[in-house]
Amino acid sequence: MQIEKDGYPNPEKQGNFGGCLFTVVLLFIFLGFFPLFNSPSKTEVPYSQFRSQIREGKVGEVIVGKNKVEYFLKTDLEKAKKSQSGKITRPEQVYVTVPLPEDQTLPKLLEDNNVKFGVRPNGSGGNWIFAALGWFIPPLLFFLIIGWFASRVQSGGGSNPLDATKSKARVYLGDANGAITFADVAGIDEAKAELQEVVDFLKNPDRYTQIGAKIPKGVLLVGPPGTGKTLLAKAVAGEAGVPFINVSGSEFIEMFVGVGAARVRDMFEQAKQLSPCILFIDELDAIGKSRSDGGVFASSNEEREQTLNQMLTQMDGFEANTGIIIIAATNRPEILDQALLRPGRFDRQVVVDRPDKLGRLAILQVHTRQIQLQENIDLSLIAARTPGFAGADLANLVNEAALLAARNHREAVTIADFNEALERVIAGLEKKSRVLNETERKIVAYHECGHAIVGALVSGQVEKISIIPRGVGALGYTLQLPQEDRFLMLEGELRGRITTLLGGRSAEEVVFGQVSTGASDDIQKATDLAEQAVTVYGMSQKLGPIAMEKPQSSFLGSPNARRSVSSIVAAAIDREVKEIIENAHHQAILILKTNRDLLEEMTQHLLEQEVLEGEELHSYLNRVKAP
């Protein structure tokens, strides 16, 4: 466990030791290679040439080895003697050749030509320094490395290898928590009310022990990403004024089996010493995944399973009312092991869901405390235009608006900055460098006007049309923002949304008689909606209210998995999906043909201005006629 503190290595100790290590290694390298710098140059010659030079009287000395013969010419020997004033030295040039195997005539040939010769003993002639280094360097380097690690640990600059089993949890004491309280958390009033009991227990434990009540040991926060689960856990510690211990589930899992379990034990021991405290485990599913979902490979990851078993044991080992509250967070509660969720462990689950309109307004008020806003900004309007946004999304929206205001040298954030920030978050950044030719601009303009006309009639209010490219691959966009939160969708509304998605492609067919590739994303979304209507929502008259898919995740929005169905049922699903898409496509074409003149007028206006919004857009859409 790491308590936030200053700890730095001693640069003097490390510098002295590192310098000594470098000097020693450099010295041995120099000693090993120095003889090579002064060694004579060697020239390889054929064995036949060597014998010819002996017969011609050119060879002065010969040294016969096991696998090679080295020799000096008489002229080189005479030059070496003259240059050194009587000192006996070796010539700078030596010749090397490889003798023929089993050649017994060489000694007689050397004697007949009065050549001095000798035999080099086996294993000699190499560099003795290298032989010594082969025995001396490995143990020397071993002890030097051990000493370097020891000096790092003593000076505080490195981690001790023996500390691998220590918990990596971070402890925030007092002001280190940043004084986060429930006043800094908005939009999740139900979750705050559930956790208020935990705060009250940490502040006044006697009130509960007197009557014999036991506070839950574990609280599991579940919800989509960005809804404020970690912030809520910090706020509990801040409200109660107790230490906050933070660790991620992935920090327990290591390559070596048993390390994670040891870290769990160490973390709980440290938590008992800091009691009362909040022990927060983020991403609990990293170690708490169900042990029964692995099939044949269920026991392949022994490290994760042992860590989970140790977590279960430690939670059972708590004495009653010790003042340690475990709060965990996950986006995937459906995959957690049931042993974690039984009474006595994480027996209280708190859903931290996306906020409603009032919740979003409260979150915007929290995040705009330090932001200079223009006086006429109505945050409730922004909250109404952001359904489905989580707390992190709203924080990002406020920050983007503030950045835009600062970039434009404004002293306060305006409603225009918020509108532009909202479009950035939804559709992406403007791609002004992406220049379309005239034909492409016309296709995109008709496409977007088709979405707007069909959408205004069958699926709700349209806020803006643009043919300015944004994001990745979006050459234009039609912005529809609901004015209220909706938690249910009627069958007619779902089919209307599919019709709106096909409005752009239908406009291309009506005007140009052919379609482009620009509708690929619309077709994908429409097909997904139609398939969900049949397989998830049971909106098919022929198949009835039968679920054909298994939900994969409640909060991550991952695609569902198709159940095992017969080929006959699969074919029936495909026919139903195709029928829904064709009916929507037919309806979109009828709407556009009925409003063909309006389509032309809107498109020409859009080509001139590139953007249609506000009253100007609504004046066109109010003229849309039903077929």
The reported pLDDT for the residue numbered 85 is: 53
Other Cβ atoms within 10 Å of 25 Cβ, number? 14
Q: How many residues does the chain have?
A: 627
Are 452 and 618 in contact by the 8 Å Cβ rule? The answer is: no
The reported pLDDT for the residue numbered 484 is: 72
pLDDT band at 530 (very low <50, low <70, confident <90, very high): very high
Question: In the predicted model, what is the mean pLDDT of residues 103-129?
Answer: 71
DSSP tag of 317: T
Are 244 and 204 in contact by the 8 Å Cβ rule? The answer is: no
- What topology is assigned to 438-621 in CATH? Methane Monooxygenase Hydroxylase; Chain G, domain 1 (1.20.58)
The reported pLDDT for the residue numbered 299 is: 46
Other Cβ atoms within 10 Å of 211 Cβ, number? 7
Sheet holding 59-64, edge to edge: 41-44, 93-97, 69-73, 59-64, 116-119
The reported pLDDT for the residue numbered 96 is: 84
Residues forming a β-bridge with 546: none
- pLDDT tens digit string along 499-516? 999 999 999 999 999 999
pLDDT band at 128 (very low <50, low <70, confident <90, very high): low
Whether 31 shows a pLDDT value over 80: the answer reads no
**Is the sign of the CA dihedral 562, 565, 566, 572 positive or negative?**
negative
pLDDT band at 83 (very low <50, low <70, confident <90, very high): low
**357-427 CATH pick, 1.10.8.60, 3.50.50.60, 1.10.645.10, 3.40.640.10:** 1.10.8.60
- pLDDT tens digit string along 437-476? 888 899 999 999 999 999 999 887 788 898 888 876 678 8
Which segment of 160-164, 286-290, 306-310, 352-356 scores lowest on mean pLDDT?
A: 160-164
**Residue 448 annotated to the active site:** yes
The token pair that represents 162 in the structure block = 């023996």
- pLDDT tens digit string along 250-301? 777 765 666 778 888 888 888 888 888 888 998 888 888 887 755 444 444 5
Amino acid at 527: T
Predicted structure pTM score:
0.68
Q: Which helix (H) or strand (E) holds 617?
A: helix 614-621
233/221 Cα distance (integer angstroms): 9
Hey, where are the domains in the chain? 40-125, 170-351, 357-427, 438-621
- pLDDT tens digit string along 56-78? 888 888 888 777 888 888 887 77
Q: If you average pLDDT over every residue of the chain, what do you get?
A: 79
The reported pLDDT for the residue numbered 8 is: 33
The reported pLDDT for the residue numbered 150 is: 63
Asked if the domains 40-125 and 170-351 are classified in one and the same CATH topology, the answer is: no
Give the CA distances from residue 350 to residues 138, 330, 335, 360, 495, in Å, rounded to whole numbers and listed in that order: 59, 11, 16, 19, 35
DSSP tag of 184: G
- What topology is assigned to 170-351 in CATH? Rossmann fold (3.40.50)
Among residues 251, 423, 448, 531, which one is catalytic? 448
**40-125 CATH pick, 3.30.70.1140, 3.40.630.30, 3.40.50.2300, 3.30.720.210:** 3.30.720.210
Q: Which helix (H) or strand (E) holds 208?
A: helix 205-211
Q: What is the DSSP string of 25-71?
A: HHHHHHHHHHHHHHSPEEEE--HHHHHHHHHTT-EEEEEE-SS-EEE
Looking at the chain, the whole-number percentage of residues with pLDDT higher than 90 is 20
- pLDDT tens digit string along 565-613? 888 888 999 999 999 999 999 999 999 999 999 999 999 999 999 888 8
